[in-house]
Amino acid sequence: MNSRALSPIANPELALSPAPEPALAAVIAAVRALMQDWNSSFKGPIGATTTLVGDLGFESIDVVILTGDLQRRFGTRELPFERLFLSGGQSVSDLSIGALATFMAGFAAGVD
């Protein structure tokens, strides 16, 4: 089994540096806003190590909606999301909140 395909992040460099607090807070706020009407079984706090699929139960359409909202919140367009969701040509099965925040902070024009 290819371990990269099961990695929670596509770019290992994102795991090496913690997400800047404003970016992390913005991603968590966007995730909470998206989940507000869900019947989620997740009861723990949402933080940098929380994963979208494994912990929060996101499906692919939820990730698409979230990335659109994050582009608006961060004032960005046409981000290279393939850097997050592909690793060595393989799809990444899950993504941590911290990795997503680190990625977004790298392209942020500002946080709403």
Instruction: List the domain boundaries for the chain.
Output: 18-35+45-107
What distance in Å separates the CA atoms of residue 112 and residue 99, rounded to the nearest whole number?
Answer: 19
Mean pLDDT for the stretch of residues 37-49: 87
User: Is 70 exceeded by the pLDDT of residue 3?
Assistant: no
Mean pLDDT for the stretch of residues 75-96: 83
Mean pLDDT for the stretch of residues 48-64: 93
What distance in Å separates the CA atoms of residue 40 and residue 102, rounded to the nearest whole number?
Answer: 25
Quote the percentage of the chain above a pLDDT of 90.
37
Which run of H or E residues covers position 84?
helix 82-85
- At 5, the pLDDT band (50, 70, 90 cuts) reads very low
Residue 57, Ramachandran bin (φ over 0: left; ψ between -120 and 50: alpha; else beta): left
Q: Has domain 18-35+45-107 been given CATH number 1.20.1630.10?
A: no
pTM check: above 0.75:
yes
For 31, other C-beta atoms within 10 Å of its C-beta total 21
